[in-house]
Amino acid sequence: MDGLMIDSEPFWRRAEIQGFGEVGITLTEDDCRETMGYRLDEVVELWYTRQPWHSKSKKEVENRILELVIDLVRKEGEPLPGLLNSIDLFKSHGVKLALASSSPMNLINAVLDRLKIRGEFEVVHSAEFEEWGKPHPAVFISAAKKLDVAPQNCLVLEDSFHGLIAGLAAKMRVVAVPDSHWYTNEKLKAADLVLKSLTELSPSVLMS
């Protein structure tokens, strides 16, 4: 979802820089990119381990960052190029759609409402209900079960490296659609295919 359906990764970076800054942790945008695809509680735990703070609980910091992201989504969120056409493409070929995200459900709901696409997905699943977030494959495996589709018959669209690894670990085909900052990264060669944006998605990608 984040960075693939909606350009919310900049929102996450802004929110993390502000939220961690409020407890004395100074992060750069590159610091934030390091944890793209992680669950928020895992991001908070990582930075607490590296630079412990005492003014707020980890849960309070997590809630503050999430509050900031949701506010930005509701005010500024826009679908990324090709999203709506991609949904139509999948639907026209009878492909079941699931949204499997590391983000918590209240943010997922904010995105679905902002983009007006709530009814497009047969399954919506958050890694907050799993013991492990990405790069563990649990969120994708659970989504496939809910769709009643075998993992090897699933296609994952991912913008993050951690999501890419999760999809491959679930034994699914993975198409990476990274932002421009990551497009030339050698790690993306692990994907079955790399696209510059969802506008490049075509019937041949689905059928290959």
135 prior amide bond cis, ω within 30: yes
Which of 34, 61, 76 terminates a domain? The answer is 76
Report which secondary-structure segment, H or E, holds 193.
strand 193-194
Give how many domains the chain has, as a whole number: 2
Beta-strand relationship, 123-126 and 173-176:
unpaired
- CB-based contact 167:140 (threshold 8 Å): yes
**Confidence (pLDDT) at 182:** 79
- Classify residue 124 by its DSSP letter: E
Structural domain of 57: 9-76
Taking CA 127 as the corner, what is the angle to CA 125 and CA 131, rounded to the nearest 5 degrees? 130
22 and 103 in one domain? no
State residue 185's pLDDT score.
Answer: 86
Q: Is residue 3 part of a domain?
A: no
One domain, residues 190 and 116: yes
pTM for this prediction: 0.85
In angstroms, rounded to a whole number, what is the distance separating the alpha carbons of residues 78 and 55? 35
CA 122 from chain centre, in angstroms, equals 18
The per-residue pLDDT string of the chain (208 residues; one tens digit each, 9 = 90 and over) reads: 988 999 888 999 999 999 999 999 999 999 998 898 788 999 999 999 999 999 999 999 999 999 999 999 999 999 999 999 999 999 999 999 999 999 899 999 999 999 999 999 999 999 999 999 999 999 999 999 999 999 999 999 999 899 999 999 999 999 999 987 778 889 899 999 999 999 999 888 777 6
| 24 and 99 inside one domain | no
